[in-house]
Amino acid sequence: SQQGEEDPQALSIQEGENATMNCSYKTSINNLQWYRQNSGRGLVHLILIRSNEREKHSGRLRVTLDTSKKSSSLLITASRAADTASYFCATASSTLTFGKGTMLLVSP
Amino acid sequence: GAGVSQSPRYKVAKRGQDVALRCDPISGHVSLFWYQQALGQGPEFLTYFQNEAQLDKSGLPSDRFFAERPEGSVSTLKIQRTQQEDSAVYLCASGSSNSNQPQHFGDGTRLSIL
């Protein structure tokens, strides 16, 4: 069964806007990872945040982690049409457990 | 190759047939994972290898599912007596260390059972 729950399930924005996706989980974790998946393709790792970290940046990506609330957020700034994809959070304990994902559509 | 390679990309089989899905991980990666992804869902863990040892097979849905990695590189996921509910995308991923670290995914095999 899937542990993470992403919110929203779908998000539609214009190019240049920011996109925020949230993830909630239930059990203790070693780290939390975000992946993206283009239609018909495999998942691509974006960023990993350890359980003792609160915020991490990578390019236009910003991830936060609140272990007390068992939640994480992914912010994509200045979105581009090429950011259109599904985004998944994955919690790492003994294995990776993925959520159901957020479908992001960025319109030109 | 530079990435994880899976074959075939698409597989259509009749209910009751056996299928075999192949995964060629990134060279040197010791960890290998299989996932099942239903339409509109996230990947669900099936099984995990560290080199040739299958360390976790808790996600395999039934004894019709079997995975092997005999020489610690290429892996095969076999499904016997396929059923319609086995229709899904099967993803393989490899990693350089343990299961907590970033994984590199192949593009998957889309399995359709008629």
- pLDDT by 10s per residue, chain A, length 108: 455 678 899 999 999 999 999 999 998 889 999 999 999 999 999 999 999 999 999 999 999 999 999 999 999 999 999 999 999 999 988 789 999 999 999 999
Calculate how close chain B gets to A14, using CA atoms only, in Å. 23
Strand order in the sheet with B75-79: B5-7, B19-24, B75-79, B65-68
Calculate how close chain B gets to A57, using CA atoms only, in Å. 16
Contacts of A90 in chain B (CB under 8 A): 42
* Whole-number pLDDT of residue B9: 97
Angle CA(A11)–CA(A103)–CA(B4) in degrees, nearest 5? Answer: 150
B80 pLDDT above the threshold of 60: yes
User: Do residues A106 and A16 touch, judged by C-beta distance below 8 A?
Assistant: no
Q: Identify the burial level of B48 via C-beta atoms within 10 angstroms of its C-beta, where 0-12 means exposed, 13-18 middle and 19 or more buried.
A: buried
User: Do residues A93 and A47 touch, judged by C-beta distance below 8 A?
Assistant: no
**What is the CATH superfamily name and number for domain A5-107?**
Immunoglobulins (2.60.40.10)
* Whole-number pLDDT of residue B86: 97
- CA dist A55 and A13 (Å) reads 24
Fold of B5-113: Immunoglobulin-like (2.60.40)
Rg from Cα positions in chain B? 13
B35-48: pLDDT as tens digits: 999 999 999 999 99
> Which residue in the block uniquely carries the two structure tokens 């996932």?
B35
- CA dist A90 and A74 (Å) reads 12
